[in-house]
């Protein structure tokens, strides 16, 4: 039984991490930064759990559970999110190029980054990528920055940055913040139900792997209409509780309800599988 559970672990991790990785990519983070976030989250989770049970944080115990070294645990506990402020070589390479473009006197002046020719040995985009992008071809970095709308080309063929950060435009980053909030609350519900089987929060799923796409528009319409009606009733109760409930005598808690539809094309097996 243990061996079978271990065999499914990579699949479970992929189901959770694949969409997370796509969110972080949209935010302009590289694999090294994502790994640092994971380390910080691990250390915080173990430290908070130990603090709740013992009243203090034992860094050696945190190192044992997380698999990190004691010096690394100490550094992460001490600096937390500030750890990400240091330059990490495994950051998103295009983001490193933008940073260098704005801060290196060779490619920037006091008024800001200089427009650069794409090719050339001196003060060019190619030279910028060689210094800050590593062994990645300048053409690949140029495409990435153009796709992210982080740079543009002048009429004379020079390239110049439109902003310092690779992350998406502000209105899109707001949407990503909503995604992270909703994902976090759903995972907290699953974790609560795992740890408190006698006090389950409602969480159910109905799905089938093979459903005709013709029925999906009807179901989406019905779910939206009935879901809106139910959420409206819940919202009214949150704002104006029933008269027979003495809400003023109870402590405040954070409470919410979320519904979501999930749909994806059927995965076709490759030949030989």
The one-character DSSP state at 118 is: S
CA angle 118, 122, 126 (to 5 degrees): 35
| Contact of 76 with 82, CB cutoff 8 Å | no
- How confident is the model over 191-201, as pLDDT tens digits? 999 999 999 99
Look at the alpha carbons of 186, 192, 194, 200 in this order and tell me if their dihedral is positive or negative.
negative
Within 55-169, residue ranges assigned H as helices are 59-66, 70-79, 93-103, 125-132, 138-147
Contact indicator for 167, 145 with CB cutoff of 8 Å: no
Distance of CA 73 to the CA centre of its chain: 22
> What is the reported pLDDT for 87?
47
Per-residue pLDDT tens over the stretch 7-47: 577 788 888 888 888 888 877 778 888 888 888 999 999 99
Residue 142 has pLDDT above 80, yes or no: yes
- What percentage of the chain has pLDDT greater than the value 90? 44
Tens digit of each residue's pLDDT (9 = 90 or more) over 206-215: 998 889 999 9
Phi, psi dihedral angles at 113 (to 5 degrees): -65, 145
Q: Of 3.40.50, 1.10.8, 1.10.10, 3.30.1390, which CATH number belongs to 93-161?
A: 1.10.10
Domain residue limits, the chain: 2-85, 93-161
Q: What percentage of the chain's residues is helix, strand, coil (to nearest 5)?
A: 60, 5, 40
Among residues 123, 111, 113, the alpha carbon closest in space to that of 145 is found at 113
Give the three-class secondary structure for 207.
coil
Crossing angle for the helix pair 93-103 and 125-132, nearest 10 degrees?
Answer: 120
State the average pLDDT over residues 241-259.
87
CA–CA dist 134, 138 (Å, integer): 10
* Per-residue pLDDT at 1: 38
Q: Note the pLDDT of residue 270.
A: 52
Tens of pLDDT, residue by residue over 37-93, are: 888 999 999 999 888 888 888 889 899 999 999 999 998 888 765 555 444 546 788
Cβ contact 23:176 at 8 Å = yes
What CA–CA distance (Å, rounded) separates 73 from 51?
A: 15
| Element of type H or E holding 151 | strand 151-153
In this predicted structure, what is the pLDDT of residue 2?
A: 40
Distances (CA, A) of 226 to 211, 219, 233: 21, 11, 11
- Token digits for 120? 């050339």
């Amino acid at each position: 039984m243990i061996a079978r559970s271990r065999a499914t672990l990579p699949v479970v991790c992929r189901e959770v991490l694949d969409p997370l990785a796509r969110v972080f990519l949209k935010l302009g983070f590289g694999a090294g930064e994502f790994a640092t976030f994971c380390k910080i989250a691990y250390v915080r989770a173990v430290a908070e759990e130990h603090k709740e049970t013992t009243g203090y944080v034992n860094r050696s115990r945190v190192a044992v559970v997380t698999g990190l070294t004691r010096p690394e645990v100490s550094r992460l506990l001490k600096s937390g999110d500030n750890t990400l402020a240091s330059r990490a070589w495994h950051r998103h390479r295009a983001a490193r190029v933008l940073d260098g473009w704005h801060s290196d006197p060779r490619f920037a002046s006091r008024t800001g980054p200089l427009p650069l020719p794409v090719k050339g040995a001196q003060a060019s985009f190619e030279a910028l990528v060689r210094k800050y992008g590593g062994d990645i071809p300048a053409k690949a970095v140029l495409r990435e920055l153009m796709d992210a709308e982080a740079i543009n080309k002048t009429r004379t063929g020079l390239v110049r940055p439109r902003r310092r950060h690779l992350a998406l435009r502000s209105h899109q980053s707001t949407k990503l913040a909503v995604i992270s909030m909703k994902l976090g609350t759903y995972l907290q519900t699953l974790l609560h139900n795992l740890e408190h089987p006698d006090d389950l929060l409602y969480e159910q799923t109905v799905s089938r792997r093979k459903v005709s796409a013709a029925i999906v528009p009807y179901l989406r319409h019905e779910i939206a209409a009935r879901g809106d009606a139910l959420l409206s009733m819940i919202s009214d109760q949150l704002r104006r509780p029933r008269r027979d409930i003495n809400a003023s005598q109870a402590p405040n808690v954070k409470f919410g309800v979320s519904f979501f539809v999930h749909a994806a094309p059927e995965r076709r097996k490759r030949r030989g599988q």
